[in-house]
Structure 1
Amino acid sequence: MGDWKDTDDILHIIAQPEQHGDAHILGTKEGLTRLRDAIDAAINTPNQTHKATEMTNDGEGFYALVQCVSADRVEALPLGYTDSHAKDESELPEWIA
């Protein structure tokens, strides 16, 4: 791929490798705007999933799913660490779309 523009919906979400590691959200203006819009919608409708249609820089499309969870659901959230020694093998709760 190549010749990307700021109007392309590029978004990369790079998870934390382990506890205390940094997570990165990187994208074009359009990609970040779509994510922001999904976040705004989620904040206004807790416990409902909202999607941002995005694409990585290899041209593969995906949905960034965003949900504002209520406090009683926080303990059920899976950890997203990617390193094998920190990976959470729990199943996703059914309310995570």
Structure 2
Amino acid sequence: MPEMLFEVRWPDGALQTFYSPSLIVQEYLEAGREYPLADFVDRVRTAMGVAEVRVRAKYGMGCSMAPVAVAQVEAVQAELAAAGLADGAVRVERFRT
């Protein structure tokens, strides 16, 4: 199954790279586009859920990295909310395969 990395810039300016076990993430996020933080988190949750189903269907077991990506995104969301940046936008910088 093709996998990819996607790089995002958080509202605080930090850059972070995440793993997706499937190219499906490109159907939920677009490089160069900004998303409100809550919307970005929802899109990542959905994309990783779909990726997990695809991996499970193909290999008979899920990918442990999909829930890790979701947990990482949610952790940053909580940190940003605590810093008063919950209304900020997340920019998807690029995808890499």
> Structure 2 length normalisation: TM-score?
0.30
Greater relative contact order (CA < 8 Å, ≥ 6 in sequence): 2
Q: Write 1 or 2 for the structure with the bigger share of helix.
A: 2
